[in-house]
Amino acid sequence: MVFFSARIPHEPGDGAYARPLTARRRARVDALLRRRIAERIPLPYLTHRAFFAGLELYVDTRVLVPRSPIAELALQRFRPWAAARRVRRILDIGTGSGAIALACAMAFPRALIDAVDISPAALQVCRRNVRKFDLTKQVRVLRSDHFDAVRGCRYDIIVSNPPYVGRAEMRRLPREYRHEPALGLSSGADGLDSVRAIFADARRHLNDDGILVVEVGNTEGTLLRAYPRLPFIWPDIAMGGGGVFLLRATDLEKASGG
Ligand SMILES: C[S@@+](CC[C@H](N)C(=O)[O-])C[C@H]1O[C@@H](n2cnc3c(N)ncnc32)[C@H](O)[C@@H]1O
């Protein structure tokens, strides 16, 4: 917040800490802090910027604040599970701000990315970010209910941070989350509605050596109980967070049986 108000870069050099804050900028920090505390507004909605996989994105309340641990996997080009040099097409389902799609575009400059979301409002933000990084030729932004707009397309990687909060947990969420679009969080009684929709169609949209990468956060236990036969891979995330699984295309055939 101080960095933002003082216009200090996100990753400042040593000298930045010695720079005095002017009275005007201090007042700005105070005003932001007051809103953050009193209204419980997440900071990125106050500053309209969020950092994801080294990218500075525009955000507002039309999109979830990007924070998926998938950032780290994208930076590592989903190795060792993806044949990184052969990746040509990637689908990001529920792209929101476009964070994961853009991280993928940077990590795989030769791949075409489809960034889809059901929310037209979220897609406005996504388009703004795609333009910001001058990636309109590499990233296609589409309104889509899961796979609806990409019927017939096949991908090397399907990635998603879908909504995955169950009904009971929705009621218990801290106030900060209420500033985020419910469409980005809520997913049926047990939180798995979106994951089920992805499982239903992912195999036919993946190449044979493709992978599916999905964040489910703390809905991991519910998922494991619902799909006891699926050989989920849960990568370690060094930067913190977790609850992201990978599945190979060939293993997805077992998803239909639950
Ligand atoms: C948890 S947010 C993730 C946003 C972004 N990918 C990120 O990681 O910051 C989930 C996103 O899925 C979108 N979504 C919800 N239901 C969807 C559906 N049926 N089809 C496509 N997108 C959906 C929401 O609008 C929201 O943008």
3-state secondary structure the chain: CHHHHCCCCCCCCHHHHHCCCCHHHHHHHHHHHHHHHHCCCCHHHHHCEEEECCEEEECCCCCCCCCCCHHHHHHCCCCCCCCHHHCCEEEEECCCCCHHHHHHHHHCCCCEEEEEECCHHHHHHHHHHHHHCCCCCCEEEEECCCCHHHCCCCEEEEEECCCCECHHHHHHCCHHHHHCCHHHCECCCCCCHHHHHHHHHHHHHEEEEEEEEEECHHHHHHHHHHCCCCCCECCCCCCCCCCEEEEEHHHHHHHCCC
Tell me how far the alpha carbon of residue 161 lies from the centroid of ligand 1, in angstroms. Answer: 7
Tell me how far the alpha carbon of residue 109 lies from the centroid of ligand 1, in angstroms. Answer: 23
* Residues of the chain where predicted confidence (pLDDT) is lower than 50: 257-258
Q: Is 116 exposed, middle or buried (0-12, 13-18, 19+ CB in 10 A)?
A: buried
Question: Are the C-beta atoms of 50 and 97 separated by less than 8 Å?
Answer: yes
Q: What pLDDT sits at residue 230?
A: 96
Phi, psi for residue 196 in degrees, rounded to 5: -60, -45
Tell me how far the alpha carbon of residue 23 lies from the centroid of ligand 1, in angstroms. Answer: 41
Question: Ligand 1, residues 49, 117, 124: which to mutate, most atoms within 8 A of Cβ?
Answer: 117
Q: What pLDDT sits at residue 126?
A: 98
Q: What pLDDT sits at residue 19?
A: 72
Tell me how far the alpha carbon of residue 12 lies from the centroid of ligand 1, in angstroms. Answer: 32
What atom in ligand 1 is closest to the CA of residue 95?
6
The chain-wide mean pLDDT, for the chain, equals: 93
CATH T-level fold of 64-255: Rossmann fold (3.40.50)
Alpha carbon nearest to ligand 1 atom 26, residue: 184
What atom in ligand 1 is closest to the CA of residue 197?
19
List the chain domain ranges: 2-38, 64-255
Percentage of the chain beyond pLDDT 70 is: 92
Q: What pLDDT sits at residue 72?
A: 97
Report field, pTM of the whole predicted structure over 0.85: yes
Residue 128 structure tokens: 């703004």
Tell me how far the alpha carbon of residue 69 lies from the centroid of ligand 1, in angstroms. Answer: 15
Alpha carbon nearest to ligand 1 atom 4, residue: 96
What atom in ligand 1 is closest to the CA of residue 94?
12
